[in-house]
Structure 1
Amino acid sequence: MRITEKLNQAYSSPNPPPATFSFEFFVPKTAQGIQNLYDRMDRMYDLNPIFIDITWGAGGKRASLTNEMVYTAQSTLGLETCMHLTCTNMKVELIDEALSRAKASGCQNILALRGDPPLDGSESTGDFQYAKDLITYIRKNYGDYFNIGVAAYPEGHPEEPNDDKTLEFLKIKCDAGADFIVTQMFYDADQFINWCSRIRKIGIDLPIIPGIMPISTYAAFIRRAKWSEISIPQHFLDALDPIKDDDFLVREMGTTLLVEMCQKLLDSGYIKHLHFYTMNLERSTIMVLEKLNLIETVKAHDTIGGTVLPWRKSLNPSRQKETIRPIFWQNRKHSYISRTSTWDEFPNGRWGDSSSPAFGDIDLNATELLRQSPKKAFELWGHPQCLKEFADLTINYLTGKLKSIPWSDGPIDADTSVMTDDLISLNKKGFITINSQPPLNATKSNDKVYGWGPKNGYVFQKQYLEFFCHKDTLNQLLNNIDSFNSTDNNARILTYYMVDKSGDLVTNTKEGDINAVTWGVFPGEEIVQPTIVERNSFLAWKDEAFSLIEEWVRIFESDMAKDFIKGKETEVQNFIKFMKSFGDDFVLCNVVNNNFTDDSKVLFGMFNGLEN
């Protein structure tokens, strides 16, 4: 959605928030940095920003990374995104490529910038000289599809000493077809408010979005102010200079100063929205939002960032009708979006046509499945050399000591807490658990842990458990399940799929079965069934689950691992041997208890007396 539409939507509602906000992120220099930033962006989604923006990585690979990050933000993370686009030294072909890729991602917002001139003082070799030229080009060739933002300099532009001229240039950009204004950082609220008054007087009536730079350390605060050539109010210096060597106190005081500044902007009547330059950090920005009492206010506001599904809805136009997902990928949305990007079922509103010729097709070797650099993987997960150490790794994840494991990109969800003890017990028995959900029977849709969807509804879940089981133990487990299912009134209450790496499948389901394991009942709506268990999708997930083990081994076998495993070569070789045997000896299993009124102990009871 266009930014101006989202702002109008927020403030035309019956209970508008006191302010909305957005975040800026820049393209990191390393692959691991990008993955870490995605995790940070994912967490900050829960703050409900109106949008995020991503800076333009000028030239070659970095420009491509901007487009890739826009795609991930829109398609995987569900974040409305504004893409920076600079035109200095940019040929029109590159501009078109960037805009086309942004459009294909569902991105409708562009911050059109001139960019820095060549460092050697030469003229730009691009097809555009000024931002106004870029704006005119976008409007001519893309009509009103894109919402276009322009940059503004409340304290003047370093290349133009005449403030009136700077305002004149801003007016020209706005008249060329801009929709909103984003300003450079500043700390002098009075000067900024006066500038807002001046631009209104010359006929600029676009939304003004002030750029807010949080204060994390004194050195960075001074350096950024000097680099941007902005003034620092004396009371900022008086408050921060005596504590400049204590980063904690500087951040606390900096937060107080920025909260006062932001509140003054909001009280002026010119500003309704705050844009935070995060510098790819989160804590300082969150502290300001908390003290402004904006986070909870926005979270409670139904029309901002709301979703009627228990998973993050993609903003990519090719997935707009997607309402169903296989539960197997619920903790790996990055790989799920990547794997299903070419599948052709989404436009039809359903996921499950397994006859698609593209179904399950993926070049697993070309995909960075672990989403961690080799060194980071080593630091996070070590090198378990036996089943107990592997189980201990999973237990550390279940108890919150680890923020991710190969099969789960993020921290353990709060809804797992009711089963944590049972999951730990399973891992201690050698069953490596990788996914689960507890049963729910008519839980209120506004429940803080389990709720989802519109108000005044009820949500339901079948208990689901996914795990690795040793081949030697599998028959005993199947006997327990089949024995339970054969008792009176229990026919096929527990359904299962169990498959080894080669694809040898054991199941008590029928070909074509699609089992809804989550559903919701809401006033005035059809029943929503957003997560399923289904055979073909499980087999596609099987390939990924076992490939994660293989990739984990492969990074320790590569030359790049030599530096960080130095002194641990023997232990690492034991790890490689163990993990390879694990992939060969274990079976991937999922079991669903279709009686959603059962206590979770029923399913866990199938493992009584068993041990891998």
Structure 2
Amino acid sequence: MKFTDKFPQGLAQRPFFTFEFFPPRTDQGFENLASRISRLAALSPLGVSVTWGAGGATKDRSLELAALTQHEYGLDTLLHLTCTNARAGSVDAALKDAQEGGIENILALRGDPPRGQEEWVPSDPRFAHAIDLVTYIRESYGDHFCIGVAAYPDGHPDKLIDEDKDLDYLKAKVDAGANFIVTQLFYDIDGFLRWLKKVRERGITVPVIPGIMPIQTYSSFQRLTKLTGAHVPDHVHDALKPISHDDQLVKDYGVTLAVGMIRKLVSEGAVPGVHFCTLNLEKSVQRVLENLQWTGMHAHPHNRLIADLAKKSEAGSDLVVTPETATHDATQSLASITVTDGEAGRGELNNAASWDDFPNGRFGDFKSPAFGAQDPWGNSGVAINEMLKQWRNPKTLGELTQIFLDHLHSKISTTPFSPTPLSPESLTILPELEQLTKRGWWTVGSQPVVNGASSSDEVFGWGPRAGYVFQKGFVEFFCEEKDVDMLQKRIEEHGTGWVHFVAGNYRGDHRSNVPDDGRNAVTWGVFPGQEIIQTTIIERESFLSWKEEAFTIWSEWASCYRPGSEEHKLLESIRDRRWLINIIHHDYQNPRALWDFVLGKVDGTA
């Protein structure tokens, strides 16, 4: 069913809500997302949306996930579709697959800006902007698809596009055939309402659905607001500052903030419903809906679950339904069906609904649906020309090394592998990272040893207060194959079981001494009344998933420069020749253990 056919007619109707999911990177994550979606389906959203990686990077997974939500769970599905960097014919193939799969809703997006604006030539010249996609869908499929488009209340990610120009583009997309608008996430309600007034003054009358993302952790909030350019009001900053090192309090505040935002939007009569960016997590959005009393008997009229409960009552059941018991009954009964004993995260205290509530760092649990969380809509928000000023024009290995060193020393704020400056935690091991980088071992991930730091520690803390956190040291870097040979030999001869590694290259070769079923928890926390929470886990599957992305980044960086240029040839040769290696030392009581080992002080080769 088309979304617009289900939108409430008139703002007096109860608002609706939709959920957004991204296709997980791993098979295990995909399987566990299915059970997560089944639990959220019990809350009766109007529909769900499925994101689409830039250039169709997640095409197969996105279509598979859309088929699951559409057919297995009966949820009308909005399939995101990006057009820039798409291969010739891929848009046609995706639309054909969507039509054959019974999907009637498309969110037409530009996606990531083309890499290297001066040199870039679209592989499918029909599609460079979202309006091209909207126009093509209407011309090719008539009214078969209900089309949504994106809007940016806090300004377009490309800062060269001012608000007036962006509103012109939005009007053009609607005039081309878009049926509704979904906004990028925002936290400034007053700013949104001012923007919405300007939208209406432009003669844009289609429904506008605000994108709401409950704050999950302070670090992810900082990253995503920077990436999307979202304006954060002072009152939000002021509320988060004293609790920023308590992930549970941050999550609680995120729920409270989202509830307040939605209540104001509804009381202003501004929107017919809201779109939740879930990041494939479930507890926060469920809590928001419960606080709004939009679940159970308060849910949307399309609520099949309440109809089932009503039938039970008519059949003579002594069940008394209240909003609270309805939600509890729905969630618990469905979870008991869909959560098998083998499902990741199953446990008395740490059940599947919340076992990954505190994702931490690149290497979360690869079985988690939230592993490798993508940014909203596959859009980096990065102005590539601005980034190239920092990354310059590397033509030699020495110039590449200098870029990584400049990032360590905060002379530049990003590299293609690190979108933010070094964290305070990484600064504690800056001398060691500098030593490795000067060897030409370009570090892209690391963490120091932590042995029982307070969970409220300003540098190392995470999770609820009144707990203790632990970390094993690990480091990850690009190096030559001969370096991998040397390090592997050192680990075999001197590691004595304390050191694990996994390494891989662009061609698909990989090496490791981690057992096939080995799972190295390198960050964990102990908190009152809870099971031990493991937030960073490194094993082959998570590493190999990240490794694929890492070598793709070399390709994308190379594409910023003219084909055949020295920069282009250098970066592609690095991609083709280098290895990515991750080394873990399990002695978390010795801060020097990892560094002495990697730098060769254990065998006299330093």
Q: What TM-score do you get using the length of structure 2 for normalisation?
A: 0.50
Partners of 1:562 and 1:224 in 2: CA distance = 35
Please tell me whether residue 137 in structure 1 is matched to residue 136 in structure 2: yes
| Partner amino acid, structure 2, of 1:40 | R
Partners of 2:352 and 2:39 in 1: CA distance = 16
Aligned to 1:344: none
Please tell me whether residue 123 in structure 1 is matched to residue 76 in structure 2: no
Aligned to 1:556: none
Q: What's the % identity of the aligned pairs?
A: 43
- 2:4/2:180 contact within 8 Å kept: yes
Partners of 1:210 and 1:107 in 2: CA distance = 22
Aligned to 1:564: 517
Aligned to 1:236: 236
Compute the displacement of 1:93 (Å).
2.3
Compute the displacement of 1:2 (Å).
0.5
Partners of 2:141 and 2:36 in 1: CA distance = 32
- 1:149/1:181 contact within 8 Å kept: yes
C-alpha spacing 1:4/1:560, structure 2 compared with 1 (3 Å): farther
Please tell me whether residue 6 in structure 1 is matched to residue 6 in structure 2: yes
Compute the displacement of 1:565 (Å).
7.6
Aligned to 2:227: 227
Please tell me whether residue 182 in structure 1 is matched to residue 179 in structure 2: no
| Partner amino acid, structure 2, of 1:157 | H
Note the 1:56-455 alignment, pairs <5 A. 56-59=52-55, 62-91=58-87, 93-121=89-117, 122-126=120-124, 127-159=126-158, 160-299=160-299, 301-305=300-304
Aligned to 2:38: 42
| Partner amino acid, structure 2, of 1:563 | D
- 2:79/2:106 contact within 8 Å kept: yes
C-alpha spacing 1:93/1:307, structure 2 compared with 1 (3 Å): farther
| Partner amino acid, structure 2, of 1:168 | D
- 1:184/1:211 contact within 8 Å kept: yes
The structure with more radius of gyration: 1
C-alpha spacing 1:225/1:42, structure 2 compared with 1 (3 Å): same
Compute the displacement of 1:68 (Å).
1.1
- The one-character-per-residue Cα deviations of 1:516-541 (angstroms, maximum 9, x if unpaired) are xxxxxxxxxxxxxxxxxxxxxxxxxx
C-alpha spacing 1:170/1:20, structure 2 compared with 1 (3 Å): same
| Partner amino acid, structure 2, of 1:236 | V
Compute the displacement of 1:8 (Å).
3.5
- The one-character-per-residue Cα deviations of 1:100-133 (angstroms, maximum 9, x if unpaired) are 2112221110000111123343232223111111
C-alpha spacing 1:281/1:379, structure 2 compared with 1 (3 Å): closer
Give the length in aligned residue pairs. 330
| Partner amino acid, structure 1, of 2:129 | Y
- 1:259/1:288 contact within 8 Å kept: yes
- 2:108/2:130 contact within 8 Å kept: yes
Partners of 1:378 and 1:171 in 2: CA distance = 46
C-alpha spacing 1:402/1:133, structure 2 compared with 1 (3 Å): closer
Aligned to 1:433: none
C-alpha spacing 1:231/1:27, structure 2 compared with 1 (3 Å): same
Partners of 2:343 and 2:294 in 1: CA distance = 39
Task: Note the residue ranges of structure 1 that are not aligned, 5 or more in a row.
Answer: 311-332, 334-369, 382-395, 404-558, 567-612
| Partner amino acid, structure 1, of 2:202 | I
Q: What secondary structure does 1:8 align onto?
A: coil
Partners of 2:42 and 2:155 in 1: CA distance = 35
Partners of 1:72 and 1:223 in 2: CA distance = 30
| Partner amino acid, structure 1, of 2:156 | H
Partners of 2:264 and 2:197 in 1: CA distance = 14
Q: What secondary structure does 1:23 align onto?
A: strand
- The one-character-per-residue Cα deviations of 1:395-437 (angstroms, maximum 9, x if unpaired) are x99xx9999xxxxxxxxxxxxxxxxxxxxxxxxxxxxxxxxxx
C-alpha spacing 1:213/1:103, structure 2 compared with 1 (3 Å): same
Give the alignment's Cα RMSD to 1 decimal: 3.3
C-alpha spacing 1:401/1:308, structure 2 compared with 1 (3 Å): closer
C-alpha spacing 1:161/1:380, structure 2 compared with 1 (3 Å): closer
C-alpha spacing 1:97/1:268, structure 2 compared with 1 (3 Å): same
Q: What TM-score do you get using the length of structure 1 for normalisation?
A: 0.50
Partners of 1:277 and 1:378 in 2: CA distance = 24
Compute the displacement of 1:223 (Å).
1.5
Partners of 1:185 and 1:247 in 2: CA distance = 20
Task: Note the residue ranges of structure 2 that are not aligned, 5 or more in a row.
Answer: 310-333, 354-511, 520-606
